Structure 1
Amino acid sequence: MLSAGTLALFIIIAFMGGTILGLTGFGFALLVAPLFFLFLPPATTVPIINIISVVLSILLLSNTFRKIQFKKVSFLLTGGLIGLPFGIMILVFVPAHVLKIAVGIIIALFAFLNYLGFKLKTRHERTVSTITGASGGLLYGSIGIPGPPVILFLVNQECDKNALRANISAFLAIIGTVSIPGYFIGNLLTPDVIKYVLIFIIPAVLGLMTGTKLVHKVNEVLFKKILLLLLIVTSILSILSGFGLIGDR
């Protein structure tokens, strides 16, 4: 059971994560997961984040649905549905400290590549898209963070900001919905998970509403720098937690 102070902190984090998702179409799990991992095990954190992400993504789609590039998303989803069950198996069987370290490394790598403006040109878009979706599904099922490979792929395909938000939201909404029965089968939908979802969904939705209102008002360059800094800090915290140096052991 989380203390009152930790619960209040998590509510603020959920609001911040929702705001980032409203602004960019992604980032909720990137920010929230490593911070929640400080006090909750991955087997509890990942279902919480994924269920909330599904709700947020569906709400965001109400504003971005017409921008979805269905062909791109369909190949990503094909791969994602292949990778998802293997990710859930990893969540069930791999030790928590290993998952925490993996989260930190993946987020740090994503932030670094994003900062460098990493580009990867490919002539085989369909194949690469399916492989990217599979890696996203694997990460979604295991650590709740499908974004890095999917975002980097869509950026490389030169999607505009609105299409990027719509494509990612569609991918998250569908993959996330499919993941829920898998968590049930894996006995991961515990009373604690359901309780925390009900608590954190409200600030997350309020954050989403805030982010969508600010999307045309925020300096995009400055926001990107702040977001990357936050991701680097949270990745370090996740790695330290994985080694048992901070947070609950």
Structure 2
Amino acid sequence: MVPLLLTGFAIVLLAAAVQAVTGFGFALVAVPLLALTNDPRTAVVAVGIAGMLMSIMVALTERRYARWRLALPLIGASAAGMPLGLLVLAQAPERVLLVLIGAAVVGCAVLIWRGLRIAGGWPVAVAVGVFAGSLSTSTGTNGPPLVAAFAGMEMAPREFRATLAAVFTGTGVLSLVGFALAGQLTGAAAQVGLVGVPAAVAGWWLGNLLFRRLPTGSFRRIVLAALVASGVLTAAPALAG
């Protein structure tokens, strides 16, 4: 178990550093790599645990800038989609989960690459929230749909980050409650997730140090290409088997 925990620490460290440098990618990096080294259910739940601290820190420090009238309804909409995601996580065979995680990572990477903006106001935002909630508890990759919806609302950068962190904090807490109620909060997932908490803090600190030293645009393209590759590698063995 110790080698798996050390591997989990290294993966979360890398994912948090990528998030700090590029502004995205924590779950997209961590979930497929943890799914390959552990199993998909452990990966989804562990990333939910490890990512909570970063979301809470940003949400607290930036709370004055969050658009709470948007964040709270989106958290509620996400909660409505979580039971479907939990059903998929609990009932889908492991091979199917690996394919879903791989497809979600590739799809989300392409969405970010293309800079997709989802416009349409509140009804569309709520629908995106439901979809993001189902992703949160099935593949752990709920961020990009919310990012696309927020981009369509043309928020100021600080409002954007603060509101997104507020939504992630709320949906993260609800996801963990859902995992526990559905019996998915296993000992292995808890161990990897808790080991990932200090890794996330260290990775965020390291990423911030690298931020001014790396050509962010080039690094972003490399990360997106790597995400597509990791998604394909995650799904390929399950498809081939």
1:134 aligns with 2:113: no
Shift of 1:213: 4.8
1:198 maps to which residue? 194
- Conserved in 2, the CA contact under 8 Å of 1:67 and 1:166? yes
- Aligned counterpart, 1:168: 164
Separation (CA, whole Å) in 2 of partners of 1:180 and 1:120:
27
Q: Do residues 111 (structure 1) and 100 (structure 2) align?
A: no
1:121 is paired with a residue whose SS is coil
Identity %: 25
* Structure 1 residue 43, shift from structure 2 partner: 2.0
Q: Which amino acid aligns with 1:237?
A: L
Kept in 2: contact 1:22–1:60 (CA 8 A): no
Question: Deviations for 1:153-172, whole angstroms, at most 9, x for unmatched residues?
Answer: 11222234433322222111
Partner Cα separation in structure 2 for residue 23 and residue 70 of structure 1: 26
The match for 1:91 is 89
Q: Which runs of 5+ in 1 are unaligned?
A: none
Cα 1:26/1:86, change in 2 over 3 Å: same
Residue 144 of structure 1: aligned partner? 140
Distance 1:140 1:227, change over 3 A: same
Q: CA deviation at 1:218?
A: 4.7
Distance apart, 1:209 and its partner CA: 2.3
Task: Give the partner amino acid of 1:143.
Answer: T
Cα 1:18/1:95, change in 2 over 3 Å? same
- Corresponding residue of 2:30: 32
- Report the aligned-residue RMSD: 2.2
Query: TM-score normalised to the size of structure 1?
Result: 0.87
**1:60 Cα deviation after fit:** 2.3
The corresponding residue for 1:243 is: 239
Structure 2 match to 1:63: 61
> How far apart, CA to CA, are the structure 1 residues paired with 2:217 and 2:157?
13
Report the alpha carbon displacement of residue 9 of structure 1 after superposing the two structures with TM: 3.4
**1:165 counterpart SS class:** helix
**8 Å contact kept, 1:14–1:200:** yes
Question: CA 1:214/1:152 → structure 2, altered by over 3 Å: closer, same or farther?
Answer: same
Deviations 1:7-51 (A, max 9, x none): 443322111111223345542111010111112222222111101
The alpha carbon displacement at 1:236 in A equals 1.1
1:17 to 8, 15, 26: 15
Distance 2:26 2:169 in 1: 13
Which of 220, 226, 239 in structure 2 is aligned with 1:224? 220
Q: Which moved more, 1:9-18 or 1:26-35?
A: 9-18
Q: How many residues align?
A: 241
For residue 149 of structure 1, report the CA deviation from its aligned partner: 1.0
- 1 CA distance for matches of 2:162 and 2:26? 15
1:52 corresponds to: 50
Aligned-pair CA distance for 1:193: 1.8
Q: Give deviations 1:163-192, integer Å, cap 9, x for gaps.
A: 332222211111111122221121112222
Q: Deviations over 1:135-160 (max 9, x none)?
A: 00000011111112111111222234
Give unmatched runs, 5+ long, in structure 2: none
Partner residue of 1:186?
182
